[in-house]
Amino acid sequence: MALSVVLAVAVWDAADWRAYRDERAGVAEFDGGLNRHEAEARAFECCLSEWLCQNFQTNEPGHCSECGVVESDSDRLLPYGDAINGHTWLHSECWPAWYAHRRHAAIAALKAVDDLFKDEGVVLR
């Protein structure tokens, strides 16, 4: 795997994550019309997205962040990310595995920070 950097934008503690999750669940339930179970599942997905943004992984262009292979004319890398947080460079076929690893890291981090997330889904997409 190529050398990469994880940008820590903010450091939220358990109370921050709990407040964010509760707020997202409330919006999904009352504004979005979801039942409580669906709203909590949606809120967990929002927490995963937020964690991924707060812990965005970047790497230098030229090496795939997932497989580490050097870019070539026949094996191009694509940037994933934005101008503010930077980019992770990946082969298009490496993106699903990279994303699955990042999502798994987010789930583990959220479970480690608060028991609130201990029963949340571990489905890797």
- Per CB under 5 A, contacts with Zn ion among 31-90 are 64, 66-67
What DSSP character marks residue 30?
Answer: I
Distances (CA, A) of 39 to 30, 45, 104: 9, 10, 21
Q: How many residues does the chain have?
A: 125
How many residues of this chain interact with Zn ion, rule: CB under 5 A? Answer: 5
Options 94, 106, 107, 110; binder of Zn ion; rule CB under 5 A: 94
CA-to-CA distance for 102 and 32, rounded, in angstroms?
27
Minimum CB separation of residue 94 from Zn ion in Å reads 3
91 binds Zn ion (CB under 5 A): yes
Minimum CB separation of residue 96 from Zn ion in Å reads 11
CA-to-CA distance for 24 and 59, rounded, in angstroms?
31
Degrees to nearest 5, angle at CA 79 with 24 and 72 = 155
Which lies closer to Zn ion via its Cβ, residue 40 or residue 66? 66
Minimum CB separation of residue 113 from Zn ion in Å reads 30
Residue nearest to Zn ion (CB): 64
Q: In the complex, which residues of this chain contact Zn ion (CB under 5 A)?
A: 64, 66-67, 91, 94
